[in-house]
Structure 1
Amino acid sequence: MTEVLLSRLSYTYRYKARHIQALRDVSVLVESGELMAILGPSGGGKTTLLRLIAGLQQPTSGDILFDGYSVKKVSARKRGVMMVFQDEQLFPYMTVFQNIAFGLKSQHISGKALRKRVAEVLELVQMTGYEKRLPSQLSGGEQQRIALARAIAVQPKVLLLDEPLSHLDANLREQLREMVRYIQQHLKITMLFVTHDQHEALSIADRVGILMQGALQQVAMPNELLQNPSNIDVARFLGMPNIFCGQKSGRCLRTTLGDFNLSGENSKAQDGEVYFVVPTTAIQPIFDSAIPQNCLTATVVHQQYYYHRWRYTLKIADVTFYMDYLMPCEAAVLDVVIDPMQIKVYPKHATQI
């Protein structure tokens, strides 16, 4: 197992007489045996980050350390890093066995030891019996399994996956995602998994890093990321639908949905104009005859089944917002209450990108 430390990593390239900063001051520690997902929109620097770690490109500034030792001047071949791409990049005229054996032969492994290692990784990716097939005889999912088997066969220090499942259908993606996680835990290998799919990142990773426009906005465990976005840009990227403007004065947040008394960290935010985020789970319907003081009466515009729960589109005057609830409801009008403890407040002027 290898610990990976990225220290103030930046990368700038020249394009049409302009200098483009693809990465800026990226610092993060990936623990030994951790699976970290790097999540972000297209063009945010995710692939560039992997290529720097792999040694395929050199950073403009900053350092990359494996177990405390800089590898910035170590060639890609000697870093002990393997990378799996979105395009499987198997050798088309080699059999499955030959594709997997290729890297092992470069390590001077041959004979019985080579055959044993190939058999082991094929069993891990559930492809035993496919040794003699060519890539053209495999489905897309099967080719991706072989690409993964080829990468882990050489027992790399670090495994990098660059959107390896993005072109597969939903069911197959879920199956291979579970397989990747099982293999990572079984081998206890340090892994960075790049994706633009939020659900994929949150379901597979120990921690998730949000990379947007070359800057690492937040690194957190999946549940923490959803509960406490570090800034309004992260909240927007994560698709949080209830983002509004308000006016904060002390502990009071004045909004078009009503006034709320803030507590905890939210009460410490600077007074003035702010953005605030209301999680969809922070809004709940009230069916009791006893109506709480901060109750709101909303019109039900629409409801649909959404990720094992029902998502309601609600409206109060001209304000549209969304609520998640476990049960469907036939009512055209609902009394709802918002838990102020779950409201997140961000300075309106402090967007970071």
Structure 2
Amino acid sequence: MSKKVATREAYGKALARMGAVNSNIVVLDADLSKSTKTADFAAVFPDRFFDMGVAEQNMLGTAAGLAAAGKIPFASSFAVFATGRAFEQIRNSIAYPKLNVKIAATHAGISVGEDGASHQSIEDISLMRTLPNLTVIVPADAVETEKAVEAAVEINGPVYLRLGRLGLPAVFDENYQFEVGKAVTVKEGSDITIIACGLMVGHAVEAAEMLAAENISTRIINMHTIKPIDRDTVIKAARETGAIVTAEEHSIIGGLGSAVAEVLVQSEPVPQEMIGVRDTFGESGKPAELLQKYGLMPADIVTAVKKALDRKNG
């Protein structure tokens, strides 16, 4: 089995590599560069790296200024602080004027683990996808993260990249083609569709293997771009399989599940079940234990699939 790599690690490597390709890339961090892995960029381009201290609002405001001056700033902190503490700056100084700032936030979700509820961001997708002009990307593994960083550089406008702390197994190989706003069908299936993002894509693959043993044919879609969501792929899956399960390491309120439901209710209503954190804060614990407790494991997806199938066939 290949080594598990955290998406934050892949981000750091991609950032350093892209820095050599594009001299306009600058990086800002809120005194967390070793954790967010922007230290990789700082090591090779110290004159283009700015440690802003524990001051996310100032960091995002400064990033907006750098973007207005023609730079391509990547601003990083933990997701709960980047999106929560600096929401107003993101809204009014970045999204509203549509400035070319890339907010790459790490340590998202409950898999942050022992840092506990104060650091486990389960509302950041919801916050970011409500803002006009902002692209929201949630990579599923290290390969996709590197491709997403490259794509973010090419987008002329604000981007939110949601990254994690936990090492993840590879879903894709180096030949993988990433396109913003275009979901990827990881596995074909005819009975039901699982639409997942982030670490839940790997869990969906495991769930599909368990379901195959029961002769249930499961389609898996990696919805790496939450906004703009790939409406056509969602509608096609609904029409062809007749039931949907969404899976995300985020609150079921306002995240991927909500985004998919919005598409379905307007275009192709089918039974949908949602896997995610259910209107509660997290707690301190080992990542695997937390994913188990909050119902984010492959077995939980299997249960949701069977429930959706019962509704479909009822």
Q: TM-score, normalised by structure 2?
A: 0.37
Q: Give 1 or 2: higher helix fraction.
A: 2
Higher CA-based Rg: 1
Name the one with the larger strand percent. 1
